[in-house]
Amino acid sequence: MPKSHDYRYTELDNGLRIVTEYMPAVRTASLGVWIESGSRCEKPGQEGMAHFWEHLAFKGTKTRTTHDIALDLDILGGLSNAFTGRESTCFHIRVADKHFEKAFDITADLVLNPTPSDEETAREKEVVLQEISMMEETPEDKIHETFWEHIWDKPSLTHSILGAPETVVAFDRQNLESWRAENYLPSNMLVAAAGAVDHDQLVAMAEKAFANAPTGQRPPRPESAAYLPNSIAIERDVEQNHVILSFPAVGNKNPKRFIQTVLSIVLGGNMSSRLFQEVREKRGLAYSIYAHINGLSDVATLQVQAAVDPARTAELLEVLAAELDKLAAQGVSPEEYEHTREHLQGLLYLGSESTESRMMRLARNQILFGRHIPFEETSKNIQDVTRDDIHSLAAEILTPENRGMALLGPHLKPEWTKIIKP
């Protein structure tokens, strides 16, 4: 193995991409098999299939029972999981280097050879239906999902990753297999690994494992969507009112993403941010308030979220409106500018010591940009953001007409919307 960090990329004849980063002085490796299909790749009636296949993969393969899978993963002593997003599905595992080959064998088996029985499929429908119920009963999740449905103009983007009860119940073997055959193709997959990993060895393992995988053209990428600054209210008998504000932002491939990231941190990304200081520290209006970018490859929103005593909801909204107007009008101070960039630099390099973080970063950069992006390049992009950049973006997007708002709680008042959108 090389003695220093080494990034390598190989594309097999069937279109499977393999990207690795060797990290010296570590004895673990993180592996991810990524399928570039998520909930955005579902047509009407298919809502929830990407997520359902993530579940079904662990319910038996051609050579392993459900118990075999659990036992094999436990014996490795590593950390294994999977997740489904709107644009991709990922099966990932972190193990000691001596178990890497076995870890790849299991993960590839889950991706390539799921053969759940009818009984397992029916049982897993019940599990997913419970997951949907949990989301509906959790205020933070419910407001996020419902709001997301109302701020985009394309149904393929708006539906829940989990699907809806009626679509999950209607899944059958034929339509499930049809969706999987269209999306689980080597040309639509990426294998990423970071840590104590040998690139050539991984390529050889992948060539063998994927040799008989069905080939075909990658499915077409879903159409983009336009942001809608809508307002919604969800009456719910809960102790607090939950509030989300949204603003238009650029997708994860846009060069302006660094400016909006700095803006979101200034607004509510850490304990010294404007909203945390004004809302929590000075006024005690909310235990938790934060701003973040909720982004996909081509679209995104900047969102502010808080939970507040119903009796103080109007006060919270007035403070939020005032802080948004102030930031749009005046921009950021030199002190805010400097410590926010330093904060982001720290986050960037803290993640560099984790094999899992580096694997995730490696994969996402390959998927989004088709190349490895060094930490130094990202660091420079953060450093290159100017105060004028931040002020200009704030003035552009933090306007009343761009503000979407979601409220969830008891006894919601229509006039509250006018505080945010006068």
Q: What is the mean pLDDT of the chain?
A: 95
Active-site annotation, residues: 54
Determine contact, residues 314/241, Cβ cutoff 8 Å. no
Tokens linked to 420: 């945010």
Q: What gap in Å lies between CA 20 and CA 8, rounded to an integer?
A: 5
Tokens linked to 227: 């942001």
Specify the pLDDT at position 221.
87
Q: What gap in Å lies between CA 306 and CA 278, rounded to an integer?
A: 13
The beta strands (E) that lie in 167-269 are given as 189-195, 231-235, 241-250
Residue 1 pLDDT grade (very low, low, confident, very high; cuts 50, 70, 90): low
Please give the average per-residue pLDDT across 315-322, as a whole number.
97
Determine contact, residues 267/291, Cβ cutoff 8 Å. yes
| pLDDT greater than 60 at residue 243 | yes
Interval 309-318: pLDDT, tens: 999 999 999 9
Domains of the chain, first to last: 6-209 (3.30.830.10), 231-420 (3.30.830.10)
Interval 154-195: pLDDT, tens: 988 999 999 999 999 999 999 999 999 999 999 999 999 999
Interval 106-126: pLDDT, tens: 999 999 999 999 999 999 999
H or E element: which one contains 28? strand 28-35
Interval 21-40: pLDDT, tens: 999 989 999 999 999 999 99
Give me the percent of the chain exceeding a pLDDT of 90: 93
Determine contact, residues 52/176, Cβ cutoff 8 Å. yes
| pLDDT greater than 70 at residue 135 | yes
Specify the pLDDT at position 290.
95
| pLDDT greater than 70 at residue 3 | no
| pLDDT greater than 80 at residue 98 | yes
Interval 335-385: pLDDT, tens: 999 999 999 999 999 888 899 999 999 999 999 999 999 999 999 999 999
Specify the pLDDT at position 51.
98
Residue 226's Cβ-count burial label (10 Å; 0-12, 13-18, 19+) is exposed
Backbone angles phi, psi at 347, to 5 degrees: -60, -40
Specify the pLDDT at position 101.
97
| pLDDT greater than 90 at residue 2 | no
Interval 257-316: pLDDT, tens: 999 999 999 999 999 999 999 999 999 999 989 999 999 999 999 999 999 999 999 999
| Strands 299-308 vs 241-250: parallel, antiparallel or unpaired | antiparallel
Please give the average per-residue pLDDT across 137-165, as a whole number.
95
Residue 4 pLDDT grade (very low, low, confident, very high; cuts 50, 70, 90): low
Residue 412's Cβ-count burial label (10 Å; 0-12, 13-18, 19+) is middle
How many C-alpha atoms does 196 have within 13 Å on its Cβ side? 12
What residues does 32 pair with on adjacent strands? 92, 192
Q: What gap in Å lies between CA 58 and CA 82, rounded to an integer?
A: 10
| pLDDT greater than 70 at residue 142 | yes
The beta strands (E) that lie in 177-320 are given as 189-195, 231-235, 241-250, 289-295, 299-308
Q: CB 394: neighbour CB atoms within 10 A? A: 25
What radius of gyration do the chain's Cα atoms show? 23
Please tell me the least confidently modeled range out of 69-73, 239-243, 394-398: 69-73
Specify the pLDDT at position 204.
98
The pairs formed by 280-286 with CB atoms below 8 angstroms and a separation of 24 or more are 283/315, 283/319, 285/309, 285/312, 285/315, 285/316, 285/319, 286/316
